[in-house]
Structure 1
């Protein structure tokens, strides 16, 4: 049995985002809705992902990977293949992906489910509810580790309540505060009834000068291998493939952090304890957090 993510000396967690920017959904709050990548871009994305997968396979120290594509990755065969291949490597502690899970689930039969996990987002209006619920129930039946969440828009509240009621209690349902929305206490209470950890998303976290694991044990990597501390700080720290990146503790240089994949790594939030063993797939250590 492999150890929990983030507990091994020298372990590196990588947030990977390649050139892919196309999606099969057209959510009005997403700039990549129904965007189409041409064949050239798709070919570059595939080659970049295969290069990254080969790099991970060649490591001799623990690695965990979260794929955070701008678009939808699992509708592309090369992302499904990468997830399966990485899940079987003994030094890979976790491989996860942010996904709308619009793809068929059969490919999961080939994966090591002790290692693979999914961060699934439900987008009301983009998929029939019963189809989405059926996919989630399929994941439960297969024993796949996954969380499910929604964007906390007022028009999504009813559907979010329905998801929470229809899924088993052990499936964590999270809520991301919608960009630009200021929640009253009553509105926040309604979302907190679904996600007891909603308060972490409701208000941006002060981060300037505070200790953060990004740049040291957690890094962001793009399709060219360029390393940054995270997706939200543009400064380049080197390249994964040419040996110019050296991990090191660095205080956060930005004033505020308002995205879960960023602030979860801030040491001051204490979220490594809350999500112990499930940091990348956003699964708390307890079924009913808070």
Structure 2
């Protein structure tokens, strides 16, 4: 069986205080951190033992995971498992990068977000250059707030051409065509992030080949549908695996709508769905939504 697992444990603390994030500068207690570590160790141990399945894993913590040693260790260990095709994580890249030298570069990948005002620009850029020198796959992105535009342009100019710079539509922000144009110039796929995608009743890979897992092992079809499908550790989730339509009116997060079968994003991101790396960038005019016809959406992390 081929399964993609989006794991989100109880970790909710972050070392940044971005004004657009509800988890800014939140601190987990020592007990909460121990619980998160135990939950992650249990999940990574389970994943390592599933040698009859092909697995891909994306860690999507509410907080920043890579400043915690147990996330770094889990990623390195899982990257060397022959039945795991990809292990990736969303990160602000505030951690050191040398630990990635121990990971399998053919399996590990990072989804990095640059937050202007939270870290010096040169420091963040230096981290991306370290990733390049280590041969690690990664994408880089920013939240599309007006005050971030100059930083995003600078980042696009300084990143290697092969590194995809994505732009997330800011939460609750509506873009006119004029406002969207400079973001579209930076990210040819920004049109997917401008508006929520209608999803009610449409086929989606979540619940069949893509699953959300929490720290207790509870399995749901995705992070945004709370209906439980069973538990990972007792195997009860397997009886619930089946194609099913989306029960929500819209999907406005990249880690959700990328799996909608009504969108071509598995082709757009072929080989890089979890780390948000497209197989090739289309011209802006070729992206749905530019002609005002189809609705599009964006991930808001």
Change (3 A) 1:113 1:163: same
Change (3 A) 1:170 1:287: farther
Which one of 134, 157, 182 corresponds to residue 142 of structure 1? 134
**What is the alpha-carbon distance in structure 2 between the residues aligned to residue 250 and residue 82 of structure 1?**
31
TM superposition shift of 1:242: 1.1
Question: Which residue in the other structure is 2:159 paired with?
Answer: 167
Question: Which residue in the other structure is 2:280 paired with?
Answer: 286
Which one of 239, 242, 246 corresponds to residue 248 of structure 1? 242
Normalising by the residue count of structure 2, what TM-score does the alignment of the two structures yield?
0.92
Q: Deviations over 1:181-214 (max 9, x none)?
A: 0001011111000000000010110100000000
The 5 A counterparts of 1:101-120 are: 101-120=93-112
Question: Which residue in the other structure is 1:6 paired with?
Answer: none
- Structure 1 consecutive aligned stretches of length 4 or more whose deviation exceeds 6 Å: none
Question: Which residue in the other structure is 2:46 paired with?
Answer: 55
SS at match of 1:267: coil
Question: Which residue in the other structure is 2:114 paired with?
Answer: 122
SS at match of 2:95: coil
**What is the alpha-carbon distance in structure 1 between the residues aligned to residue 283 and residue 10 of structure 2?**
35
**What is the alpha-carbon distance in structure 1 between the residues aligned to residue 225 and residue 193 of structure 2?**
19
SS at match of 1:245: helix
Which one of 60, 66, 69 corresponds to residue 74 of structure 1? 66
TM superposition shift of 1:107: 0.2
TM superposition shift of 1:243: 1.6
The unaligned stretches of length 5 or more in structure 2 are 285-301
SS at match of 2:226: coil
Q: Deviations over 1:238-273 (max 9, x none)?
A: 111112112111110000000000000000111000
Q: Is it true that 1:270 corresponds to 2:264 in the alignment?
A: yes
**What is the alpha-carbon distance in structure 1 between the residues aligned to residue 194 and residue 162 of structure 2?**
23
Which one of 163, 178, 191 corresponds to residue 170 of structure 2? 178
Which one of 23, 26, 29 corresponds to residue 38 of structure 1? 29
Normalising by the residue count of structure 1, what TM-score does the alignment of the two structures yield?
0.96
TM superposition shift of 1:138: 1.0
SS at match of 1:269: coil
**What is the alpha-carbon distance in structure 1 between the residues aligned to residue 235 and residue 133 of structure 2?**
43
**What is the alpha-carbon distance in structure 2 between the residues aligned to residue 160 and residue 288 of structure 1?**
19
Change (3 A) 1:149 1:289: farther
SS at match of 2:279: coil
**What is the alpha-carbon distance in structure 1 between the residues aligned to residue 218 and residue 90 of structure 2?**
20
RMSD value, Cα: 0.8
**What is the alpha-carbon distance in structure 2 between the residues aligned to residue 29 and residue 16 of structure 1?**
23
Question: Which residue in the other structure is 1:19 paired with?
Answer: 10
**What is the alpha-carbon distance in structure 1 between the residues aligned to residue 202 and residue 65 of structure 2?**
33
